Amino acid sequence: MRKQTLGEFIIENQKQFRYAEGELSRLVNAIRLAAKVVNHKVNKAGITDIIGESGDLNIQGEEQKKLDVFANETFIKTLSNREIICGIASEEEEDFISVESKTGQYQNKYVVLIDPLDGSSNIDVNVSVGTIFSIYKRLTPSGTPVKLEDFLQKGRNQVAAGYIVYGTSTMLVYSTGNGVNGFTLNPAIGTFYLSHPNISLPKEGNIYSINEGNYNHFSDGIKRYIKYCQKREGNRPHTSRYIGSLVSDFHRNMIKGGVYLYPKTQKNENGKLRLLYECNPIAFLAEQAGGKASDGKQRILDINPTQLHQRVPFFCGSKDMVETIERFMEGSGA
């Protein structure tokens, strides 16, 4: 049976989207194009001069990889040149970028927030990396330049979100609020095909993903949860699997059932992951697939952002597992 292409899927399902004027479809298509360009470059890492540090620091004070810079420039250029967005914010940029149309107006209604290359510290050792994107309708009036408030929206306001994982195969996974679907790239012809329709995150799983090297810096609640996962009882001990790339870890857990944890530590009092570029889009996908995402106390999608690069603790995956973590954290000061 012939598999449906991403382009065909977008056209067929466009009417399900509550703002169906075609712009969102064009926006997803632009992300698809940029993803193919980045995928081509990722697959050449090691045989071209694209791995290693660029020599610059990003806004987080982190060493930028050459592929970080390439992916950031590719997505910004591709999305800005197609008359489909009025603004873009990137994890690699200090401030948002207001995108003016060729007519000198700001008529487009969408803003995009993006982590161009998640897990880029893994690229030099040939481990899976990814791209995460989030789409909102602007709040400010059409025809005017975008403002910070257009980007500082609660995650529940997202109209679409997704990620691309560059692994043994390249997949684009996204949702417009009507479930989650995954598309695998056929590199021979450059086309994404529907390979994972209606992804459902198992309610319970047996994988927990956390950097246990930080164990001594975790709160008592998180330490107790790790010990609970390791205890032989019922369907435990759980299996520990941690790649260090949010996209890769979440993708595996969404397919197999599991939970991803990045709690606050003594070093990172607010956690390490960025609310707008990483947590909100992944949380949106998790909920659309039947899972849950929390900062340990409240729903991720209900957090009111105050800064573009705001960080939060993050627990995401199978619903029962996230709720178990929340119970362990109650009263622990976590």
Question: Could you write out the three-class secondary structure of 83-141?
Answer: CCCCEEEECCCCCCEECCCCCCCCCCCEEEEEEEEECHHHHHHCCCEEEEEEEEECCCC
Q: What is the pLDDT of residue 126?
A: 75
| Lookup: tokens for 276 | 């707008």
Domain count, the chain: 2
Radius of gyration of the chain (CA): 19
Residues 278 and 229 in one domain: yes
Asked if the structure places residue 103 within a domain, the reply is yes
In a domain? residue 1 = no
Whether residue 83 is found in the same domain as residue 112: yes
Q: Are residues 150 and 218 in the same domain?
A: no
- pTM as predicted: 0.92
Q: Are residues 24 and 135 in the same domain?
A: yes
> Is the domain of 234 the same as that of 159?
no
Say which CATH number the domain at 57 has. Answer: 3.30.540.10
- Same domain? 247 vs 172: no
Instruction: Say yes or no: 182 and 307 in one domain.
Output: no
> Does 201 map to a domain?
no
| Final residue of a structural domain among 196, 231, 264 | 196
Q: What's 5's DSSP letter? A: B
- Residue 237 is part of which domain span? 207-329
Final residue belonging to a domain, choices 196, 221, 255: 196
* pLDDT score of 21: 61
Q: Cα separations (Å) of 257 from 46, 162, 174, 279, 318?
A: 33, 18, 18, 18, 6
| 202 belongs to a structural domain | no
Tens digit of pLDDT at every position of the chain (334 positions): 788 999 899 888 877 665 556 788 889 999 999 999 999 888 876 545 555 554 455 556 566 778 889 999 999 999 998 888 999 999 999 999 999 877 666 678 899 999 999 987 777 777 889 999 999 999 999 888 999 999 999 999 999 999 999 988 999 999 999 999 999 999 899 999 999 999 999 999 999 999 999 999 999 999 999 999 999 888 889 999 999 999 999 999 999 999 999 999 988 899 999 999 999 999 999 999 999 999 999 999 999 999 999 999 999 999 999 999 999 998 665 5
Residues 153 and 296 both lie in one domain: no
Same structural domain, 37 and 139 = yes
- Of 176, 158, 274, nearest to 150 (Cα)? 158
Residue 230 has which token pair?
A: 């390791």
